[in-house]
A and B are shown apart, each in its own frame.
Chain A
């Protein structure tokens, strides 16, 4: 098992605006290596957008995303705002204050430049690093081989192949996505073999035998058979299609999967198959999974930690047991109270808690932020609420 404490993905102050719509607003969280992080919320709360921003389907507006310590996405809006603010101050400021503001502007300009560089070239940097390492290895090996021309030739050929792949490798390939609708996300004109192998081919692998072997291996892994490789997507059932989608993402040997509602389009009997498959893959390959869903019982069952989102903001974040045992934020409570359960007696007595943000909070004076109430349990609240939550938790414990 990999180390549990290594932070694999860090999202810092992520903002994703579409025009005036703030789809995601100032969301921060860490995902540790090997864990399953659940993201829940009602439709339109920005959970899918968060997932898509992470694999750069969108260019983020502000904030940064670090993967394996390397910044892979960066937005510039916060820096631009800081500059604007400073310029405004500069009109009236004098002396030392003006100097300070000028420095602020310069710092932020630099930050914007860096952000743009990271956003654009992080993959190239990563590929260059890989290539450099390969070159070093090759040179060492060549030195060892000495005058053996045959071996040298072999080494050279391998180096050429590896170098081509390395140059095509992107850091972002280590994060793969599984989409909600298995029907819409598979190309109907490609066979399963082509669909699964496409990633490898784009990366520059040309050895057909190696590709076939890989495809068969992955098909076995996700519970399909070799014979399925030659067929087209329409010949499969919904659950099998979702398996193909998973195979396609797993073949790239990713460190992390983003599963965007992978089971909501599937039948009940098939849902369990896919969830079990994802769980097995996590154990076998040591995957880290960002699991986006709105079915809370599935998320509770599957995830180690859960983040609850509401209107583009993270309102509560805790381990799944803690979240379900001691929900603090009123929205989380309302969400938990509306989970349908397979039990007619409790269902018929169920009282749904409604959440009205205007009535539940008074943020006119004290603005809220995400704060840690007990270790590992974060809630979005202000000072007064924080005190109340702490008291509640102590009362419960």
Chain B
């Protein structure tokens, strides 16, 4: 499975007037590509805090006490704000609970949707250029290292590669320009025809002249070809002659059918052109620069590239890949004992300066052991330095601050006591001491090295598909090359936004594009928030209770939209909610959270058909379904105060099945099956056997019976 996001031992607290509130206490989960992870729990369980930590938008008084969030070779908790800015909204985006408060009330909807696309385009072009050059240089270096005897040949090959990449990007750039004019014209014509249909006043002559003047810019050998060029020419001449007789359209005299027919034909022509597949510009560039005399078709060019160049080039890349991999494995093997030793060293007492020195040396080793030709980065290794330094700094910082804090607390308490003793009326309260558990912070340091050691061990024993990786590398280079010239103008963004609005189910997007948020109903607003979240084409979508403020019919529609988009765009979704019905609809995997901890984790089937944790039982039992007749089993009491989190299992106090040990010690995660685990002492082999509440077991039996019946009916 392809893990796109990893959260490891995340701990977050909030500094408040009355003390430190432990919102998230050591949670770990993975998000796999193309799947939906639902986080379920009541308010205050820390589910929103977790998602906000992933987005890097925690409130100002939040303290990250430990843990890592790995995404694409980075630890999201420790990267600077500038870097986070590039990820937020672009790679990871979020749909908020209240659509009204997440839209700008004084900016039109269209502008809000296109804003992210345009911003992203500007930076991604700049980035891609650097990335392309860096990766190419690195590959060349490694290839030369792997085959020192063929140095000249290798350099020659890389030069050719660079040359035809440049030729290809030039060609792609001109193609993109033509394509931009095309999409802008699509937007213009779409708007015009929409207004004509609505009988709005229009300057027909100006429109025809504009379209006629812009159409030639669409012509491009790869985009239109000679046949389409001829068709466009005839359309242009038709338009020019129509423009001579055109009059202004008003509500009484709408645009005549001849003009609308002409423009509709033009739009259709453009639509078919736009639907054409993009040619492979790397191959085209190759054909241009190596065989300038031959006029090759895209298929021929691709064939020539594969047979003439790649046949030579790929084996060399293979050599580089396997050499680099072997080197890295060697270093990793050497690194392993060092990591183990460091872990032991860090678990004892040490001096600040020594620890930092050791950390620096170790980080150097770790960085040297990274296989730079990896396409998918090993986040733990990449982020090792920052994680370890962070953990050490935190430890010493708290060590310094704890006594101060305790002294302050003692001083203030004494003062308060004194005043009370003097018989004064004391209205102020003493802020509780904000003291950190030094042992825990100390453990954090060791855990960083332990985790990397685990990873390294796994990496050493893993197999490598050399050819697969070389092809991946070339593909990455290709995508960087086309990202360099990916152009997005305002007009194109407009057209894309309209498509996006159609996708999320907004009717008449051309009119809606120019409206303000207050002109939309609640469900429509939430759709717009979804459109904005998807505008930059993210990899991960976080939905924080997106349907809680909506009623059932709208809720069902929104969920359908999110599910469809997830399929179409291969999104990975984190879905936060307290509604188990919604979870059943959306989730592949479910994490049930209570009091800042994950108490049960498993696939949707695990949680709904085989729940193990008493809290999950209670959640399921407290919501009626359509067949429920008996009295609901409500959960007594309220969630614990997280400023003073309970010693043992946080749910023990509200738990009917609680045992003595639940009040004394926190249960570890017990594995139920490969995918399913739960943190409850009931799963301990020594625990008494407890059946889940009747209301749930009956419901599950009912569901299974119904399913068997339906399955039978389908077979018959």
Contact A338 B626 (CB under 8 A): no
Contact B626 A341 (CB under 8 A): yes
Interface residue B578 (Cβ < 8 Å from any Cβ of A):
yes
On chain A, the residues within 8 Å of B626 by CB distance are 296-297, 300, 324, 339, 341
The B606-648 residues at the A interface (CB cut-off 8 A) are 608, 618-626, 628-629, 631-636, 638
Stretch with Cβ within 8 A of B (4 or more), from A25-33, A268-276, A358-366? A268-276
Question: How many angstroms from the CA of A238 to the CA of B43 in the assembled complex?
Answer: 10
- Can you offer 9 A-B residue contacts whose CB atoms are under 8 A? A270-B634, A296-B626, A297-B624, A298-B624, A340-B582, A342-B581, A343-B584, A343-B608, A344-B608
On chain B, the residues within 8 Å of A275 by CB distance are 624, 632, 634
Contact A273 B605 (CB under 8 A): no
User: Given A338-B553, A345-B703, A268–B631 Cβ distance below 8 Å?
Assistant: no
Contact B623 A272 (CB under 8 A): yes
Which among A43, A268, A345 is the interface contact of B42 at CB below 8 angstroms? A268
Query: Which residue on B lies nearest to A43, using beta carbons?
Result: B551
Question: How many angstroms from the CA of A196 to the CA of B196 in the assembled complex?
Answer: 63
Which among B552, B583, B619, B636 is the interface contact of A295 at CB below 8 angstroms? B552
Contact indicator per residue, chain A 329-348, by CB within 8 Å of chain B (1) or not (0): 00000110111111111111
Query: Which residue on A lies nearest to B563, using beta carbons?
Result: A348
Contact A338 B632 (CB under 8 A): no
Interface residue B216 (Cβ < 8 Å from any Cβ of A):
no
Contact indicator per residue, chain A 255-289, by CB within 8 Å of chain B (1) or not (0): 00000000000011111110110010000000000
> Which of the listed residues A239, A279, A340 has the most CB atoms from chain B within 10 Å of its own CB?
A340
Contact A239 B552 (CB under 8 A): no
Which among A339, A344, A355 is the interface contact of B605 at CB below 8 angstroms? A344
Contact A267 B522 (CB under 8 A): no
Interface residue A350 (Cβ < 8 Å from any Cβ of B):
yes
Question: How many angstroms from the CA of A348 to the CA of B566 in the assembled complex?
Answer: 14
Contact B581 A297 (CB under 8 A): yes
On chain A, the residues within 8 Å of B584 by CB distance are 340-344, 347
Q: Which residue numbers of B lie inside 8 Å of A, CB to CB?
A: 42-43, 521-522, 550-557, 559-560, 578-585, 587, 604-605, 608, 618-626, 628-629, 631-636, 638, 699, 703, 706-707
Q: How large is the interface on A (under 10, 10 to 19, 20 to 34, 35 or more residues)?
A: 35 or more
Contact A338 B555 (CB under 8 A): yes
Q: Shortest Cβ distance from A122 into chain B, in angstroms?
A: 34
Which among B618, B620, B707 is the interface contact of A345 at CB below 8 angstroms? B707
Contact A352 B635 (CB under 8 A): no
User: Given A269-B619, A334-B553, A340-B584, A279–B631 Cβ distance below 8 Å?
Assistant: yes
Which among B551, B585, B619, B699 is the interface contact of A42 at CB below 8 angstroms? B551
Which among A237, A240, A272, A341 is the interface contact of B635 at CB below 8 angstroms? A272
Q: Shortest Cβ distance from A295 into chain B, in angstroms?
A: 7
Q: Apart from A270-B634, A272-B633, A342-B625, list 16 A-B contacts with CB within 8 A.
A: A42-B554, A43-B522, A238-B43, A267-B578, A270-B638, A272-B635, A273-B635, A301-B629, A335-B553, A340-B584, A341-B625, A342-B583, A342-B584, A343-B703, A344-B587, A355-B553
Contact B551 A269 (CB under 8 A): no
Interface residue A109 (Cβ < 8 Å from any Cβ of B):
no
Contact A344 B604 (CB under 8 A): yes
Query: Which residue on B lies nearest to A339, using beta carbons?
Result: B552
Q: Shortest Cβ distance from A15 into chain B, in angstroms?
A: 23
On chain B, the residues within 8 Å of A269 by CB distance are 42, 618-619, 622, 634-635
Contact A342 B634 (CB under 8 A): no
Question: How many angstroms from the CA of A271 to the CA of B699 in the assembled complex?
Answer: 19
On chain B, the residues within 8 Å of A338 by CB distance are 552-553, 555-556
Interface residue A294 (Cβ < 8 Å from any Cβ of B):
yes
User: Given A296-B552, A352-B556, A340–B579 Cβ distance below 8 Å?
Assistant: yes
Contact B638 A342 (CB under 8 A): no
Q: Shortest Cβ distance from A304 into chain B, in angstroms?
A: 13
Which among B551, B585, B631, B703 is the interface contact of A348 at CB below 8 angstroms? B585
Question: How many angstroms from the CA of A269 to the CA of B622 in the assembled complex?
Answer: 6
Query: Which residue on B lies nearest to A299, using beta carbons?
Result: B624
Question: 10 tightest CB-CB pairs across the interface, nearest first?
Answer: A340-B581, A272-B634, A338-B556, A301-B624, A272-B622, A267-B42, A269-B635, A344-B604, A273-B634, A347-B585
Contact A239 B624 (CB under 8 A): no
Q: Shortest Cβ distance from B5 into chain A, in angstroms?
A: 22
Query: Which residue on B lies nearest to A269, using beta carbons?
Result: B635
Which among B605, B620, B638 is the interface contact of A240 at CB below 8 angstroms? B638
Question: How many angstroms from the CA of A362 to the CA of B635 in the assembled complex?
Answer: 49
